[in-house]
Amino acid sequence: MNRRDFLNRSLLASVAFPKLVDAAGAEARQSPGKAAPFKLKYAPSIGQFTNLAGNDPVAQIRYAADQGFTAMFDNGIMNRPVEQQELIALELSRRGMTLGPFVLYADFAKKSFVLRDQDVRRMLLQKMKDGVETAKRTGCRQALVVPGRYDESLAWEYQTANVIENLRACVEICQPAGLVLVIEPLNSKNHPGLFLIRIPQAYSICKGVNSPSCKIVNDLYHQQISEGNLIPNIDAAWDEIAAFHIGDSPGRNEPTTGEINYRNIFKRIHEKGYQGVLCMEHGQSKPGKEGEQAVIDAYRVCDQF
């Protein structure tokens, strides 16, 4: 194919793809009753559909279920009142929906897991105990951990060893309760100074911890920026990946708004038999109800594989 043909085909594809999104959304909206379930457990955040469903978390869960979503997530559920946690868990159970990982520990400003420090260890273990209690109330089986900042004064290998040892201590609390810690690499452009930034790095740490209660949450927005090569890294780290975060790049909005081919990624994940949650941790490219509907429509078209 010569360059002119390539450019012409690319232009046609760029025009046609938004039409596919619109068509998929229109078809779903015209269908009577509830929409068909998605093939994968895409999980809107509680708060994602406030214009379409209102501010009540229970109403948002019901709305998401009617749109075909079979999971939800709430990063800040640990900070909600106990009564609200229990109401959310009850509605999810009624709808047969899975709750994706909540944030257990993610302090971007402090050195924590990279240190061999007894005060830090005590703080982390208390966090784990609090996370276990939240998991018991909500039925959530995964909790997210960011290992914090790196230490410029300490050799990288020592920091890695300290992260592994601290995670081993944490899983001693979490594993008996059936709670899986998922460690998240974040990109250094948006979050400079953090210790964990790449999937191979997270993979080696999980192998060092050597526990079914220490796995990876692969945030594809962050990893597109950090290292790209998304599908090969998914394949290479597959046995240690327990959850995904979704967001297109650039912009961190819904799929189809950036450069990531989410239809192909979802197809690959589905082919591998993935049964976990894919948290929709992104914004929307348009405001209001129109923007929220565009999010749903984008997942419909990317689910067509």
23-41: string of b/e by CB count within 10 Å (b at 16+)? ebbeebeeeeeebeebebb
- HSE on the CB side for 224, CA within 13 Å? 18
Question: In terms of pLDDT, which residue wins out, 22 or 58?
Answer: 58
* Tokens linked to 281: 């941790």
Tell me the CB-side half-sphere exposure of residue 128, using CA atoms within 13 A: 25
Q: Read off the tokens for 184.
A: 């998240």
Whether the per-residue pLDDT at 28 is higher than 60: the answer is: no
Reported confidence tier of residue 3, pLDDT bands at 50, 70, 90:
very low
User: Does residue 218 come out as left (phi exceeding 0), alpha (psi in the -120 to 50 range) or beta?
Assistant: beta
Tell me what pLDDT residue 219 has: 98
Confirm if 85 and 72 have CB atoms less than 8 A apart: no
Per-residue tokens: 173: 């609390």
* Distance separating the N- and C-terminal Cα atoms of the chain: 26
The pLDDT of 218-232, averaged and rounded, is 98
Band of residue 274 on the pLDDT scale cut at 50, 70, 90: very high
The yes-or-no verdict on residue 14 having pLDDT over 80 is no
What pLDDT digit, counting tens, does each position of 91-124 carry? 999 999 999 999 999 999 999 999 999 999 999 9
Give the C-alpha separation, 253 to 24, whole Å: 18
Q: Is the pLDDT of residue 23 over 50?
A: no
What is the Cα–Cα distance from 196 to 202, expressed in whole angstroms? 7
- Model confidence over 146-159: pLDDT tens digits? 999 999 999 999 99
pTM > 0.85: yes
Residue with tokens 């240190």: 115
- The two tokens of residue 26 are 């229109």
CA 198: distance to chain centroid?
Answer: 15
Tokens linked to 19: 């039409």
Say what the pLDDT of residue 162 is: 98
Say how many C-beta atoms besides its own lie within 10 A of residue 6's C-beta: 10
Q: Is 43 helix (H, G, I), strand (E, B) or coil?
A: strand
Q: What is the pLDDT of residue 223?
A: 98
DSSP 255-279: TTSSS--HHHHHHHHHHTT--SEEE
pLDDT at 242: 98
In the chain, pLDDT over 70 holds for what percent of residues? 89
Chain-centre distance for alpha carbon 226 = 16
17, pLDDT greater than 70: no
> In order of start, what are the domains of the chain with their CATH numbers?
3-302 (3.20.20.150)
Structure tokens at 30: 């015209």
> For residue 156, how many other CB atoms are within 10 A of its CB?
12
- The DSSP call for residue 179 is P
By residue count, the chain amounts to 305
Residue % of the chain over a pLDDT of 90:
89
| Dist CA 166 CA 156 (whole Å) | 15
Non-local (6+) Cβ contacts of 171 within 8 A are: 181, 209, 211, 213, 214
Residue 216: count other Cβ atoms within 10 Å of its Cβ.
25
Instruction: Specify the higher pLDDT residue, 260 or 27.
Output: 260
Host H or E run for residue 209: helix 199-209
Residue 192 pLDDT grade (very low, low, confident, very high; cuts 50, 70, 90)? very high
Contact 50, 60 (CB under 8 A): yes
Mean pLDDT over residues 223-244, rounded?
A: 98
- Rounded Cα distance between 199 and 219, Å, is 9
